[in-house]
Amino acid sequence: MEVPKKLVTTVSGCADDALAGLVACNPELRLLQGHRVVLRNDLAAVRGRVAVLSGGGSGHEPAHAGYVGKGMLTGVVAGAVFASPSVGSVLTAIRAVTQAGAAGVLLIVKNYTGDRLNFGMALERARAEGTDVRMVVVGDDCAFAKPGKAGRRGVCGTVLVHKVAGALAEAGASLDEIEKKVTAATKVMGTLGLSLSPCSIPGSKPSFQLAADEMELGLGIHGEAGVHRMKVLPADKAVETMLKHMTDPSNASHLSLTPGSSVVLVVNNLGGLSCLELGIVAGAAVRCLESRGICIARALVGSFMTALEMAGVSLTLMLVDEELLRLIDAKTTAMAWPNLLAGPATTRRKEIPAPAEGPKKPQDEAGSGPGTARVQRVLERVCSTLLDMRDRLNELDRGAGDGDCGHTHARAAQAIREWMRARPPPAVPAQLLSGLADVVLEQMGGSSGVLYGLFLTAAARSLSGRSDFPAWADAMDAGIEAMQRYGGAAPGDRTMLDSLFAAAQALRSLRSPGANLLQVLAAAAQSAEAAAEATRHMEAAAGRASYVRSSRLEQPDPGAVAVAAVLRAVLEGLRDTPQ
């Protein structure tokens, strides 16, 4: 097992460097000289108020220093990665706020042995110096059905405790009142984590391994073992599993939820989950809670207390009344607290009505007859060709793109087939191309869908009221001009435009009196195929391939190959169709 890569300056200095970076970017924060302690810049504002201090090991960013600010924490004490801070640094932080005139100090500590010991020892020494210091230990983990002697671990719910304590202190509450209300808040919340991957301390190997098809329920924020390994579940099922475990009465660590309860929900990224996945989990959590008759008074979604790069999520629920909710909503300048609007979370929000469509496009009145039948046969040949080429186009695209060119064109082909089944395609050229533009824009996806849509829309406009041969040459030029204007590519850039431009040169023969359509189209298809093959030797200057070294582009451009195949299919479809 290899040591994972980390973007750090030095392994030994990573915790200090992280704090220094945070302070450098936030004018509200200051470092305490000689210690891993971050304090509010305006310590004078603490005079006469209770100071709220917290902290713990580094590696949980933005916890804890991200929550220092007016209306939240007065300061934090950080240890090395996943290590408790020293007694001396905790004591120094207490002295700093006491000397600034604080009317007592509240320590908020996660329930880990090292944190309890070091913060507790500092508390005793500060009391010996005459300071009124209290400590609230947070244990919100719902993982273990029968917690051992150490009790429940302190995890992401600690952030909500920070917020409640900080809001009370900012409002001028006494140390007795804050201690009482914060202690009560710790008893009405629960948290549970779910991980897809381990985490690793800088310079070290991962603390555990999970198989590619496994997830683990109930891990701690340092990579400590959870309660159950299982096969990876879809997000909605995973969320149901988490909430069921958190609220199971047979679990001694459970949180009691009854229909009608009001909660604050925290959907916390454990460090390595994508924002896309986090949004999916958040939606699933809201739906699941709503189905139980729970009111989600507020929902916080983001990275609040992480475990380095662990790909996972935790859910925190805090039962709230009006007072607790006011404290959660109270203003704070802490940079890691989300700027939330006060309002509930729900999946039942009324959608904004879509705007009315513009004037309907005129449709071909006939919708049948030889013209329509000819169009259907040609389009069917095009669709069959693209579907047959799916794998080849994907393979060509893997060298320079994301390997989905074949899937994208196949989607377009399937959409065109469905469009034809729903209604015979119009035989009028402008209406036909306009209708095809709508289909590819709505169904094809990717930049290819937009480029084809631009081409067809501009070509349709050029064909309006015309159907003679020169009109088709003009339409080809108009479509290419639109693609160049918005796409930015030019002939020679190794894109689909190379095939289109070559075909357009040949189609100009349609402007000559007595031109033979099939002969001209055959020349256009042959030119497009030659141009597509020539892209094999071109330097990509546009599109995704432009970011890839030319030495790796050993195949022709898939977009150019697709265009050439479409032109060949149109030719063959027309040849097979009675004129």
* Tens-place pLDDT, residues 106-161: 999 999 999 999 999 999 999 999 999 999 999 999 999 887 788 899 999 999 99
Q: Give tens-digit pLDDT for 322-360.
A: 999 999 999 999 999 999 888 999 999 999 999 987 776
pLDDT score, position 312: 96
71-80, 361-370, 507-516: least confidently modelled range: 361-370
The confidence score (pLDDT) of residue 281 equals 98
Q: Rounded to whole angstroms, how far apart are CA atoms 138 and 152?
A: 8
DSSP 398: H
The pair phi, psi for residue 296, each rounded to 5°, is -90, 95
Q: Rounded to whole angstroms, how far apart are CA atoms 333 and 339?
A: 9
Q: β-pairing, 189-195 with 214-217?
A: antiparallel
HEC string for 278-335? HHHHHHHHHHHHHHCCCEEEEEEEECCCCCCCECEEEEEEEECCHHHHHHHHCCCCCC
> So what's the pLDDT on residue 234?
97
Interhelix angle 405-422/370-388, rounded to 10 degrees, is 150
- Whether 58 has a binding-site annotation, put simply, is yes
The pLDDT assigned to 366 comes to 43
Model confidence at 361, pLDDT cuts 50, 70, 90, reads: low
Q: What are the start-end ranges of the H helices in 423-516?
A: 429-443, 446-463, 469-487, 496-507
Whole-number pLDDT of residue 553? 56
Contact 293, 154 (CB under 8 A): no
Chain-centroid distance of CA 367 in Å reads: 45
More confident residue, 550 or 63: 63
- Is 231 annotated to bind a ligand? Reply is no
Q: Quick: pLDDT tens for 275-318.
A: 999 999 999 999 999 999 999 999 999 999 999 999 999 999 99
Query: Helices marked H in 7-61 — which ranges?
Result: 14-24
Does the annotation place 546 within a ligand binding site? no
pTM assigned to the model: 0.79
Reported as a pLDDT band with limits 50, 70 and 90, residue 231 is very high
Q: State yes or no: pLDDT of 362 exceeds 80.
A: no
Q: What is the pLDDT of residue 212?
A: 92
pLDDT at residue 190, rounded to an integer: 97
Q: Is 110 labelled a binding residue?
A: yes
The mean pLDDT value for 431-436 works out to 94
> Are the C-beta atoms of residues 524 and 486 closer than 8 Å to each other?
no
User: Known binder of ligand: residue 303?
Assistant: no
Strand-pairing partners, residue 228, are 217
- Summarize pLDDT for 392-427 with one digit per residue, the tens: 999 998 876 678 899 999 999 999 999 999 989 998
537 catalytic residue (yes or no):
no
Residue whose tokens read 């496009």: 361
Residue type, 294: I
pLDDT for the residue numbered 467: 85
Mean pLDDT to the nearest integer, 88-101: 98
Interval 229-253 mean pLDDT:
96
In the predicted model, what is the mean pLDDT of the chain?
Answer: 92
Residues 6+ apart with CB under 8 A from 102: 46, 47, 49, 50, 51, 74
Under the banding of pLDDT at 50, 70 and 90, the label for residue 542 is low
Q: What is the pLDDT of residue 481?
A: 95
pLDDT per residue as tens digits for the range 513-526: 999 999 999 999 99
* C-alpha R_g of the chain: 32
Q: Which residues contact 211 (CB under 8 A, 6 or more apart)?
A: none
